[in-house]
Structure 1
Amino acid sequence: MKKIGLLAAASFAALSVGAAVAADLPSRKAAPAYMPPPPPPPLWTGFYAGLNLGGGWTANKVNAASLTPYSDVAGNLYFLPGNTQGGSNAGGVVGGGQIGYNFQIGPSFVVGVETDIQGTSMRSGGNSNTILYPDPVLPGSFLIPLSPAGNPGIALNWFGTVRGRAGFLFTPTLLLYGTAGFAYGGVSGGYSNFSSTRTGWTAGGGVEWMFLPNWSAKGEYLFTDLSSGGNTGAWGFSAGYHHHPQFNTVRAGVNYHFNWGAAAAPAVASY
């Protein structure tokens, strides 16, 4: 009996030591599968608004009056070109504001739409040269112009655009884009100081940098071509601006991004 008791005690002690050693061994349970973090939400999607300031210069010269009435000494009327030269190119300050909406496609592309309104100080220089024509009735004399000839200068007082934008993200915060769309503007001047609104098109491009989560800075170039027009002078002949107002603008601006319309950031799972 004594031997059986000793054997039982030894067996119990061995089992206890084995259990203790097993408890100290590392667990062989499989580690949880790695779950990569979700991608960051798009930085560019949403509405924005901002201000800009820059400069502009005309890309062409304004035309002279199309036809000018002349009279000879007998009172006969002749409608002849009054000037063969246009006015000079000119530049000025451009400034205004813009609003728009961006939509980011994947990590590399951004599309959107933007509208802006600008005030300008651009005005073309004038040219008052008058062509002299010999009088067919009285040799040695010249026809008498009956209305001003030449070009008194045309002002672009303001313009606006509605454009599409599409660009490529070189980095998550640096966007290079092209833009094109509809343009309109207020033109005034001429002999009777006429004022009219012209429509046309515009195209250009720029670069925009998101330097803070809701703020971006941009630089942009646009070429704009507005429709021709003019005011009616004496005898119903147009004596105004006949060339398309074409001008270049370069401007810098800043935008605040509201993130309205942007998708909410995905939740990060906790383990």
Structure 2
Amino acid sequence: MKKIVALLAMTVLSGQAFAADAIVSAPEPAPVEYSAFSWTGGYIGAHAGYGWGRSQDVNNPQASEQKTKGGFGGLQAGYNWQFDNNIVLGAEADVSFGSVKKNWYGRDENQHSPYYGTDKLSTNGTVRARLGYAADRFLPFVTGGIAWGHTKYNLGCDSTLVSVTVGKCWRGNSGQAFDTNNSKTVVGWTVGAGLEYAVTDNWTVKGEYLYKDFGKNRVHLFDPNAAANINDRNFKTKVSEVRIGVNYKF
């Protein structure tokens, strides 16, 4: 009996010693390493903004420069590559829907009243390169590339819009009333800058400024009261934009 008790005591004591050794020798958990955000990957998103610009018929020395403005919204998609030195190189394409325009009337400018017209930039977009520097989740960048847009111009004259004493439709106040319009897809260039921030690993928000120059583009607007060479108008179009957007990163 004494031998059995002694054997049980030795078993208990050796178990406690083994447990103590196990507790002492248990490895400590490894420290959690911080992983910086990577901008590499594709994305899609949406944007909204406001534009303002200038449009002028440079063929007609008596035509005033029109100041256009308006809102828009659209979609974008692109891809970024982040390098070991935190430089980020990307490519992006976007399309915007809206209307940056000016409705003008001769009587507002005391010029060729009662002529009227509309200069408008509607659907437009860009294909751009982006170059930025990643400060973890912040990405300031510059951008530039090709811009395209759909322009529309309206020109008309209606002597009933004003009193007869002001004038009729040119040609010694004896011209005829008319209304004509034409549209054209134009191509130019764009540059800009912005800042993007990664809210989560998949969602980012951004703000940017773009300047678009579509150069000079010839548009035919027939005016029965004008000389033949003035009917081929040559419009110069420039637009500035501020926009905010959100992207989903894959």
TM bucket (normalised to shorter chain) is 0.5 to 0.7
Name the one with the larger helix percent: 2
Aligned to 2:239: 247
Equivalent of residue 207 in structure 1, options 182, 195, 212: 195
Tell me how far 1:63 sits from its aligned partner.
Answer: 2.5
Aligned to 1:85: 64
Tell me how far 1:109 sits from its aligned partner.
Answer: 1.2
- Structure 1 spans left out of the alignment, 5+ residues: 1-35, 67-80, 132-147, 259-271
Amino acid of the residue matched to residue 150 of structure 2? Answer: G
Tell me how far 1:243 sits from its aligned partner.
Answer: 3.5
Maintained 8 Å contact 2:184/2:219: no
Amino acid of the residue matched to residue 255 of structure 1? Answer: N
Tell me how far 1:122 sits from its aligned partner.
Answer: 1.2
Alpha-carbon separation, structure 2, partners of 1:48 and 1:38: 27
Equivalent of residue 229 in structure 2, options 234, 237, 242: 237
Equivalent of residue 181 in structure 2, options 181, 184, 193: 193
- 1:41-96 Cα distance to aligned partner (Å, 9 max, x none): 761101100000111111x2422662xxxxxxxxxxxxxx6x34233x13111110
- 1:126-172 Cα distance to aligned partner (Å, 9 max, x none): 242229xxxxxxxxxxxxxxxx9x66121111111000000012x21
Amino acid of the residue matched to residue 158 of structure 1? Answer: T
Maintained 8 Å contact 1:231/1:238: no
Maintained 8 Å contact 2:37/2:201: no
Alpha-carbon separation, structure 2, partners of 1:166 and 1:242: 35
Shift of the 151–178 alpha-carbon distance from structure 1 to 2, 3 Å rule, reads farther
Shift of the 124–64 alpha-carbon distance from structure 1 to 2, 3 Å rule, reads farther
Whether 2:121 is the aligned partner of 1:156: answer yes
Amino acid of the residue matched to residue 186 of structure 1? Answer: H
Name the one with the larger strand percent: 2
Equivalent of residue 63 in structure 1, options 57, 62, 66: 57
Alpha-carbon separation, structure 1, partners of 2:154 and 2:243: 28
Amino acid of the residue matched to residue 127 of structure 2? Answer: V
- 1:20-56 Cα distance to aligned partner (Å, 9 max, x none): xxxxxxxxxxxxxxxx999847611011000001111
Shift of the 101–44 alpha-carbon distance from structure 1 to 2, 3 Å rule, reads same
Whether 2:130 is the aligned partner of 1:165: answer yes
Maintained 8 Å contact 2:68/2:120: no
Q: Secondary structure at the match of 1:200?
A: strand
Query: Counterparts in 2 of 1:13-52, with a 5 A limit?
Result: 40=35, 43-52=38-47
- Structure 2 spans left out of the alignment, 5+ residues: 1-30, 156-179
Largest Rg, 1 or 2: 1
Alpha-carbon separation, structure 1, partners of 2:119 and 2:33: 58
Whether 2:124 is the aligned partner of 1:124: answer no
- 1:170-195 Cα distance to aligned partner (Å, 9 max, x none): x2100000000000000002322101
Identity of aligned residues (%): 32
Which range is displaced more, 117-126 or 245-254? Answer: 117-126
Maintained 8 Å contact 2:118/2:153: yes
Amino acid of the residue matched to residue 50 of structure 1? Answer: G
Q: What is the total number of aligned residue pairs between the two structures? A: 189
Normalising by structure 2, report the TM-score: 0.68
Equivalent of residue 228 in structure 1, options 197, 216, 220: 216
Tell me how far 1:240 sits from its aligned partner.
Answer: 5.9
Normalising by structure 1, report the TM-score: 0.63
Amino acid of the residue matched to residue 198 of structure 1? Answer: V
Alpha-carbon separation, structure 1, partners of 2:241 and 2:119: 17
